[in-house]
Amino acid sequence: MGKNIVQKILDAHLLDGELIPGQEIAIRIDQTLTQDATGTMSYLQFEAMGVPRVKTELSVSYVDHNTLQSGFENADDHRFLQTVAAKHGIYFSRPGNGICHQVHLERFGVPGKTMLGSDSHTPTGGGIGMIAIGAGGLDVAVAMGGGPFYLTCPKVVGVNLTGQLSPMVSAKDVILEVLRRLSVKGGVGKVIEYKGPGVATLSVPERATITNMGAELGATTSIFPSDEVTKAFLKAQNRESAWVELVADSDATYEEEITIDLSALEPMVACPHSPDAVKTVTEVGPIKVDQVLIGSCTNSSYSDLMKVAGILKGKTVHPTVSLGIAPGSKQVFEMLARNGALADLIASGARILESACGPCIGMGQSPNSGAVSVRTFNRNFEGRSGTADAKIYLSSPEIAAAAAITGVLTDPRELGDAIEVAMPEQFLIDDSMVLAPAEEGADVEVLRGPNIKALPINEALADTLQAPVLLKVGDNITTDHIMPAGSKILPLRSNIPAISQYVFSGVDASFADRAKEAGRGIIVGGQNYGQGSSREHAALAPMYLGVKAVITQSFARIHRANLINFGILPLTFVNESDLDKISQGDELEIVDVTTKLGQEEALEIRNVTTGETFSVRPDLTARQIAIIKAGGLLNYTRLNA
């Protein structure tokens, strides 16, 4: 029987287990990437392992998140990242060089390779034919140290693309259609593999937009074939030697299949406050728009911004709209400057932002109170913009540019002819902002600022777990709810004692203080707990506050893995209705937990406050049980070194 692309890459990298969906497997990781919001902690963890030099084929440290330097903290982190990279064999992409996923696609991505990144949008690399997976920083640190990456073998969903996109309909509309059909939970435990005749009509940047936002499905990753389109892109980046053909066999099979006719798609938006709240622009209607932001790792490529420049050329941004544009990389920025497109953007009244994540993670450009903001980003969770009551709509660059001109949400097809942008035969190549590591790392001094604190280490799991329910929450709790981002909090990523004060601060401002007072606690939630970012701080900071277990109806993949990595027991209700039997403040007890883990499929929890009992499933592998018992992956690694 033939293989699909996912099976081919996983089989070539398989270190342990069998490629049977639902079973745990271990794979070899070829490349890693980190960004500065997660990177400092990841490299502190790498240092704790005592490995002098990374053992991957390539590891790159990017600075793209915490670039707003309103105090010493971010600048100190950048200095630490540069020196630790030089010492341990890691390439360093300097601030200003661009967003990690855009730059990696341009300069480092290799078809057929595996990549692990400490950012949930690492699947962007699937646009070039990689198995690129987002994970917590500790998993990335282990991979840099030469360890395997463990995951549940995913089901593979084949998305058959037919037809061709109509003028002013874009790749963003493709992934919004997938989200509309599957929802933010529809990709859990799955890899989305795109195939069919429509694939050849999409450029690599368009494919990367689709795989990037596949993270919002909860999918392990997404991937496109590596074909002649991929080859042309790599050739234009002076990297043709990295190309290999990678397509599914003609008789390949998939666990699920769906078909999307590209020709039938219309311009769409994701409405507040979820990426799967998708409607056509026509359905939403011409609502007033206060702000437009174009950029992020989803839509900041050369072709994206050339289309925007073409739409804005000779026009002026509507007087009631604030327009900000962030090129995704120095390469994109400089090419726009050299061909005159940047001048067209500036002349329109756009505010040009640096090549960084910026407002996508709440780092600047918060909209006015009660605003409608149209953004080409990938997430529109409530409050993520920095303005609690803002309404964020996710759109294509074409829709965003049209709204900037008209002042209302507008179908870009109403503006007239589409802007045609050909892919360059040669991109501008200048890698001077990427620093190679030192040849002799032992000679490099790692520089640490006062905000970089020691990594907190968890204790081993106690045999009896008794603790109060510190917080009870509902469905679709995101990592933004658990550990908010933004310009106030992100600079504290290297200081767990300080950042832990903000855990659940937008949900319950008293949470951190109550957790400290209790000394230990349990969190209870509904469906899809922990969706969104890969930020391990959403597990690490609660661990520091004494959280011992999280009981939910279901978990998002990366967050559940992060909880295990930091020794927090993830449990799901056997009967989902038992959620109603628990109130915030109840005291819960599990006895003989270390003995029963691995021996019993379900654990009994007694609600000491009410006297009721209910059952939960750990659903842990033998390796994960050992990690939990040790108090986390670092402890487990030390014990098994």
Q: Mind telling me the catalytic residues? A: 64-65, 119, 379, 533, 535
To which residue do tokens 């969706």 refer? 531
SS3 content of the chain, % helix, strand, coil (to 5): 35, 20, 45
Strand order in the sheet with 256-261: 221-223, 190-195, 155-162, 256-261
Q: How far apart are CA 333 and CA 354, in angstroms?
A: 9
- Give the CA distances from residue 505 to residues 300, 480, 482, 595, in Å, rounded to whole numbers and listed in that order: 31, 10, 8, 35
Q: How is residue 153 written in tokens?
A: 């073998």
Q: Max Cα separation, the chain?
A: 72
The whole-angstrom separation of Cα 393 and Cα 610 is 44
Find tokens 């009660």 and name the residue.
Answer: 370
Question: What six digits make up the tokens of 28?
Answer: 């070899």
Rounded distance between C-alpha atoms, residue 373 and residue 365, angstroms: 10
Q: Is the dihedral of CA 205, 210, 216, 221 positive or negative?
A: negative
The tokens for 533 are 């970012």
Nearest C-alpha neighbor of 391 from the set 362, 368, 410, 416: 368
Peptide bond between residue 537 and the one before it cis (omega within 30 degrees of 0)? no
Residue type, 393: Y
CA distance 634 to 641: 10
The Cα–Cα gap between 207 and 579 comes to: 40
- Report the amino acid identity of residue 439: E
Give, as one character, the DSSP assignment of residue 286: S
Mind giving me the DSSP string for 385-421? Answer: TS-TT-EEEE--HHHHHHHHHHSB---GGGGSSPPP-
Instruction: Tell me the pairing of strands 547-552 and 569-573.
Output: parallel
Segment holding 365, helix H or strand E: none
Among 454, 463, 474, residue whose Cα is nearest residue 569: 463
Q: How far is CA 518 from CA 513, 547, 587, 632, in A?
A: 9, 10, 11, 21
d(CA 629, CA 631): 5
Shortest CA distance to 531 belongs to which of 508, 554, 506? 554
Which residue type occupies 608? V
Task: Report which residue type is found at 290.
Answer: D
- What is the spatial distance between Cα 559 and Cα 530, in angstroms, rounded to a whole number? 5
120 with 296: CB under 8 angstroms?
Answer: no
The torsion angles phi and psi of 550, rounded to 5 degrees, stand at -125, 125
Q: Which residues contact 553 (CB under 8 A, 6 or more apart)?
A: 475, 525, 526, 527, 529, 572, 573, 576, 579
DSSP 293-340: EE-TTTS-SHHHHHHHHHHHTT----TT-EEEE--SBHHHHHHHHHHT
